[in-house]
Amino acid sequence: MNFTEQLWQDIQPIYDAILNHGFVDELMTGRLPSATFQYYIQQDALYLTDFSRALNQLAARAATADDSLQFTQFAQNAILVERGLHETYFALYDIQPETAKMPACFAYTNYLLATTSLQSVAVGAAAVLPCFWIYREVGKYIYRQAIRENPYRSWIDTYAGEAFDLSVTQMLALTDRFAEAASPVEQDRMRDAFRMASRLEWYFWNDAYTRHRWLV
């Protein structure tokens, strides 16, 4: 079993909790309140800008020009996807841009920025991986299960894109390669980072579902 397969095993309970989350269920059946979807898309747009920054930091720290280019292209893509959200879904679902990160988005983005600033590239890569990988798997799941007549159909269909699939494959290969060159101590940190970011994925959906806001 290669390193990323082990990572996936580790987070099985978290992944199951995401698949069984009310947000995912109501998205597939089309019953998700539009205010909930709006919250999600708003926070996703804020998330993507910082996700791109985290990838830029990995690009700055990567040992080879090839890896640096790879992370730079991921960073560019994250912002282009963020723009796509604005140009398509903000219009389509009548969403106002939000400038304030809510708790889960705040915790997740700061974790990624702090980790990619202060930890090694290998650990940083493990931290950004769940956003690629879990998102793809959840996306495929939703795509397969969602009912045809669904107000969120247009958004669900973007998951079928092959471009994103390729990114995930590249990101998995990078992570496995980093793990091979890492010492056991560093591999443990990679596992911790992957698990933490996976947990934050769940919180991201959960905050949207509960339209969670700051208490003070």
When the beta carbons of 72 and 170 are compared against its own copies, the nearer one is: 72
Smallest distance from its own copies to CB 95, Å: 16
When the beta carbons of 72 and 145 are compared against its own copies, the nearer one is: 72
Alpha carbons 69 and 72: distance in angstroms, whole number = 5
Based on the number of CB atoms within 10 Å of its own CB, is 192 exposed (0-12), middle (13-18) or buried (19 or more)?
A: middle
Task: Supply 213's token pair.
Answer: 């806001």
Smallest distance from its own copies to CB 160, Å: 25
When the beta carbons of 5 and 188 are compared against its own copies, the nearer one is: 188
Smallest distance from its own copies to CB 163, Å: 16
When the beta carbons of 21 and 151 are compared against its own copies, the nearer one is: 21
Q: Residue-wise over 106-143: b if at least 16 C-beta within 10 A, else e? A: bbbbebbbebbeebbbbbbbbbbbbbbbbbbbbbebbe
Residues near its own copies, by CB under 8 A: 13-14, 17, 49, 52-54, 56-57, 59-61, 65, 68-69, 71-73, 75-76, 79-80, 82-83, 103, 106-107, 109-111, 113-115, 117-120, 181-183, 185-186, 199, 202-203, 206, 214-216
Phi-psi region of 62 (alpha: psi -120 to 50; beta: other; left: phi over 0): beta
